[in-house]
Structure 1
Amino acid sequence: MSESLITKQAIADGFKGLMRIKSFDKITISDIAKSCGLNRQTFYYHFQDKYELLDWIYYNEAISVMTEGLTFENWSSRIYRMLTQMKKEDYFYINAFKASGQKEFEAYLFSVAKELFKEIITNLSGEKEIKLEDMDFIASFFSYGTVGIIVAWAQEGMRESPEFLKERFENLVLDSKNLAVKRFLSAL
């Protein structure tokens, strides 16, 4: 691991430690730097502000866990891994999402989900050619639903288990795959 990555991880760990005791909005750059034994300048060398740090944590500790090697065949296990990672540090995600710090997380997760749903639609359409706007509409519909559920789950305190959500997603996608999407495609 590079020295820069080690420093970024130390800053992230300090920040997450502070999130256990303070709300996101009350944490300053000075607080973060102090918590990990660095000065403010070192923080600014690695991150522009605490929102960029938040995005870095989202990507490196949740999104990349899901997206690495993501395929149609393994999507539910990847979502489960991401949800499990989020649940493991629920204090952090709940606090960050309450502070409207989920926009980057939400946008990135949406783009990943949309590509996955496009793959599902392509597989279901077989030989039938689908207009790009129809493909985009269907993929967006399912992506907004999936991402919305994950964000609401975090904002509402992650009461359900990752296993429960994974099963719900599997049932919904499999049911949709066999019913709603096929009906929509046959109507085109």
Structure 2
Amino acid sequence: MAQQYTRKMIRDVFIKMLNERSLNKITVKDIVRACGVNRNTFYYYYTDVYAILSEIFQTELQAAIDEYNDTLSWEEGFLVATKFASENRKAIYHVYDSMQREELENYIYNVSGTVMIRYVEKVSDGISASSGDKKLIASFYQCALTEMVLRWIASRMKEDPDTIIRRIGQLFDGNIALSLKRSASLNDV
């Protein structure tokens, strides 16, 4: 229990600092001072500040997976998954502008993939689309969503993500089911 508390405290302090300053301006010394722990305690949990960042993205991805369920549309699932980014905009800017951008890109790509794979599976219920086509459809939307989110971050998140995602949902409503039905009809040929 104490280990979980300490680990969470280190992560929370790191996120707070990342919302205040760029990633390359955060040191282990800063974190241990703010947490009131010694360096050995920090190194017991993490090898460096980048390990904290990686764990945060992994934890957020798992939370998104756990929270997403079959009653959610892909739009709602994606908004749940991007909640961390919306709540920590400055931290996300600082990661995006750093040498660790790839961590952020991988996180967004994985979140998009998880949401779309689950959604395509849900929509394909009763449609005899091939598994290869299901993967292709999910991958297409995964890549599109990933790039849209990265562009949104690059533009400093000026637009409301809820508005954008819901609009995309309205514009493309039914396209996934239509693509799955096309797959089924191509398999019948």
Tell me how far 1:119 sits from its aligned partner.
Answer: 0.6
> Aligned partner of 2:20: which letter?
I
> Aligned partner of 1:128: which letter?
S
Correspondence for 1:58 = 57
The runs of 5 or more residues in structure 1 that have no matched partner are: none
Alignment of structure 1 residues 1-188 onto 2, 5 Å:
2-60=1-59, 62-75=60-73, 76-99=75-98, 100=101, 101-120=103-122, 122-123=124-125, 126-130=126-130, 132-183=131-182, 185-188=184-187
8 A Cα contact 2:120 2:138, kept in partner: yes
> Aligned partner of 1:142: which letter?
Y
Tell me how far 1:115 sits from its aligned partner.
Answer: 2.3
Cα 1:41–1:168 shift into 2, 3 Å: farther
8 A Cα contact 1:84 1:162, kept in partner: no
Tell me how far 1:186 sits from its aligned partner.
Answer: 3.5
Tell me how far 1:54 sits from its aligned partner.
Answer: 1.0
Tell me how far 1:65 sits from its aligned partner.
Answer: 4.0
> Aligned partner of 2:128: which letter?
K
Distance 1:108 1:84 in 2: 15
8 A Cα contact 2:28 2:49, kept in partner: yes
Tell me how far 1:114 sits from its aligned partner.
Answer: 4.4
Tell me how far 1:164 sits from its aligned partner.
Answer: 0.8
Q: How many residues align?
A: 183
* CA distances 1:39-80 after superposition (whole Å, capped 9, x unpaired): 2221111122222211222233x4344222423431433322
RMSD: 2.6
The normalised TM-score by structure 1 is 0.79
Tell me how far 1:147 sits from its aligned partner.
Answer: 2.3
* CA distances 1:108-141 after superposition (whole Å, capped 9, x unpaired): 3144134224414523xx35251x3322222111
Worse-matched range after superposition: 101-110 or 50-59: 101-110
Worse-matched range after superposition: 35-44 or 166-175: 166-175
The normalised TM-score by structure 2 is 0.79
Cα 1:165–1:3 shift into 2, 3 Å: farther
Distance 1:92 1:16 in 2: 7
Distance 1:129 1:180 in 2: 9
Cα 1:9–1:154 shift into 2, 3 Å: farther
The runs of 5 or more residues in structure 2 that have no matched partner are: none
